[in-house]
Amino acid sequence: MTPAHAIKPSSEARAPSVRSSLRRQACRGAWLLLAVSMAVASAGAQSLVDTHASLGLPALDAARLSVADLNGDQRDDLIVRLNGTAPAVPLVFVRDAARGGFRAVGATGLPRLAPRDVLTFADLDNDGHTDAIVARHLDYLQDTFVAPVEAPVRTAWLPGRGDGTFGAAIELTEAPPATTMAIAVGDVNRDGRPDLWLGNGYEKYFSGYEAFANDLLLQYPDGNDRPAFVRWTVPGESSPADPQTDVGGRPTYGAMIAQLDDSPLPQLLELNYGRRWNRLYLLTPPRPLLDLTGRPGVDPAPHRPGGPAIYRREETRRSLHGVDIAAGVGFDGDAIRHGRHPDLSAHRNHVDPRYSRPDELPFRANGNDFDAAVGDIDNDGDFDVFVSTIIHAWAGDSSDRSRFLVNRLRETGHLHFDSPSALSVDRIPEVLTDENRDYNQGDIFAELGDLDLDGRLDLVLCSSDYNDPPPHDERLRIFLQQPDGTFRDRTAALGLDHLGAGQPSWIDVNGDAALDLVVGQTFNRLNAERRREAGVANGTLSSPDDDVARARPVLRVYENRPPPGRHGLVLRLAGDPTRGMSRDAFGAIVRLQADLDGDPATPPVTLHRQLMGPGGHAGKRSASFVHFGLGATPAATDVVITWPDAARTETRFPLLPAGTYEIDLRAGTEPLRLR
């Protein structure tokens, strides 16, 4: 991947008249599209409307963000990282219930972060307060490396105080210094304690393909009130890189923890760059899991040299077994693995010598995945995956594309993925020209959610700022799932014109149980023409003839105005650590039935959702709730929550009307209606 460099304000001469004409036409087209979208919205169609200003947010020049409830009021707050090349302190905005928007928090305690550092949020110590997790991108083998000047200087967590501020950083010494690119959080071994899955990048960028080994940090009880972790060696990750077998390090840009089958433990998803096959680790306990939680009534750990803490530490490490099953279940890529480069590489060699390269070994004839989204797209009771991919034109058809991986567990009885061509969301030009020859399908982030409340999951695809000509340009795209199960690009119809889409997060800003969307923005790779277009769309450029330097990215909060007559259900879940489940309840699975069309003569539909913790690329984190679109029915029936403890405890409700509920197992099983 080409490094991102900020574009300095340009003093370039005005473009030729033909380009100015094209810019004016593009702007007139954008305004016409907006007018049409507004007219459609006024007639009762769905729309997504930017409300960041009315919510009290300034025009934030930011690409990365997180959504989390920092103060425990069951309203989601916003953490924003400003664009730029210099280290900066993230901004925190908590919900202001009295004003109905956000207010800034001063002196948060969060550290100054470099642009490539990773930040995410979870309740690591199960105390009910959301904590911050920081992974430094320590590119220390580079000659130009500059070490962090303030704590933490490596991977650490900061205890949340429950008010949007955080305590002093506590370094996680079990995580070796590395170029960390991703953080996933979940209870990997079902002991009630959140674990960390870290994806690491290149050892020395542009100086070889080797990468730092990825790290799984398992939390264990050491007798104090703070989390303690032990490093579990990921199979094959710590081996030296082998160009013949694909053993050893390659850069991992995305890491996730998800339950994809009926195994007792979730899987580890590894999304790899550097044209390396993805990994999918099946985790099992080689023997029955010992109860190491210290719950009342449980015998203490047997005496061992070093004391109970050392015993629990070593048992935690030994009680987990893992094997990569990606190749066997169709998770690692498509069937094209010849590794041959097209003539395009020779075409580009006169511009960039890096493109003069021999054909590659089969194991490198694969994808460059950044992110993934997990959800049951076909409502068959198992969980599917969408992977977002960077495509390089010089790699030809040997490079994977962004695609759906459909889980066939329920049809076949075993975990297996395929990628039906009918579900393609390709934006690759059918004919290569001098203008689009250097294309990238620059899909960085993806999310799945039911935007139109019809009971079918839809796709949000954020394609960063890779500079491609329309109609294959890089922007925020919304693909709504159709009744036949295919996905249709409805971005324009929803009134969206968001070029250079950054990190996305789900949120419910107005409590109507419909999914709203927060999306960052970046212009790093956009040329002057595209920056002008983006500036007109986001309101920072009043005219296409203005100086391009005045255009700047703006983070948007898109309030979802779904079709009338449809209903949504939001469940905010909180586990009970005394029962062996994490407070965040990441990994909980909810099943419900709903009469989506409101016709009692038709059978109800069964829907499944999984509460995903932070994961994917760059610590991606949405609001911690489970969301369902209920269609025309005002209530869900037969709601079953399977909690993420070792026993897979179930809680059942015969009826839940549409709305937002909190279900906190520490307070019992009765749902508390919030809105």
Give 183's strand partners: 198
3-class SS at 168? coil
Whole-angstrom CA distances from 517 to 49, 505, 592 are 10, 6, 24
pLDDT at 441: 78
| Confidence at residue 303, expressed as pLDDT on a 0 to 100 scale | 60
pLDDT tens figures, 367-415: 789 999 999 999 999 999 999 998 877 777 888 889 999 999 999 999 9
Return the minimum-mean-pLDDT range out of 249-258, 356-365, 469-478: 356-365
Angle at 536 between CA 534 and CA 541, to 5 degrees: 110
- Going by pLDDT thresholds of 50, 70 and 90, the confidence category of residue 276 is confident
Residue type, 438: D
CA 575 to chain centre: 22
pLDDT at 523: 93
**Quick one: tokens of 321?**
């077994």
Residue 99: pLDDT band with limits 50, 70, 90: confident
Q: What's at 410, amino acid-wise?
A: R
pLDDT tier for residue 439 given thresholds of 50, 70 and 90? low
Instruction: Read off the pLDDT band of 37 (50, 70, 90).
Output: very low
43 pLDDT band, cuts 50/70/90, is very low
Given a cut of 50, whether residue 27 has pLDDT beyond it is: no
Q: Residue 32 above 50 pLDDT?
A: no
What is the CB neighbour count within 10 angstroms for residue 524? 19
Helix pair 528-538, 17-42: axis angle to 10 deg: 30
Adjacent-strand bridge partners of 337? none
pLDDT at residue 239, as a whole number: 65
SS3 460: strand
Most confident of 8-17, 31-40, 342-351: 342-351
Confidence band for 333, pLDDT divided at 50, 70 and 90 = confident
Residue 95's SS3 state is strand
Whether the per-residue pLDDT at 268 is higher than 70: the answer is yes
What is the predicted pLDDT for the residue at 297? 52
Do 125 and 226 contact (CB within 8 A), yes or no? yes
Mean pLDDT (the chain, rounded):
86
Give strand ranges (E) for 17-116: 47-50, 62-68, 77-82, 91-96, 101-105
Strand-pairing partners, residue 505, are 518
How far is 417 from 386, CA to CA, in rounded Å? 11
Note the pLDDT tens digit of each residue in 107-132: 999 999 999 999 999 999 999 999 99
Who has greater pLDDT, 432 or 226? 226
Q: How far apart are CA 200 and CA 205, in angstroms?
A: 12
The answer to whether 532 and 548 are in contact (CB under 8 A) is: yes
Encode pLDDT of 530-549 as tens digits. Answer: 899 999 999 999 777 777 77
pLDDT score recorded for residue 491: 96
DSSP codes, 198-255 = EEE-BSSTTS-S-BPPPEEEEEE--SSSS-EEEEEPPTTTTSPP-TTT--S---EEEE
Q: Is 597 helix (H, G, I), strand (E, B) or coil?
A: coil
Q: Where would I find the H helices in 271-368?
A: 308-318, 326-329, 344-349
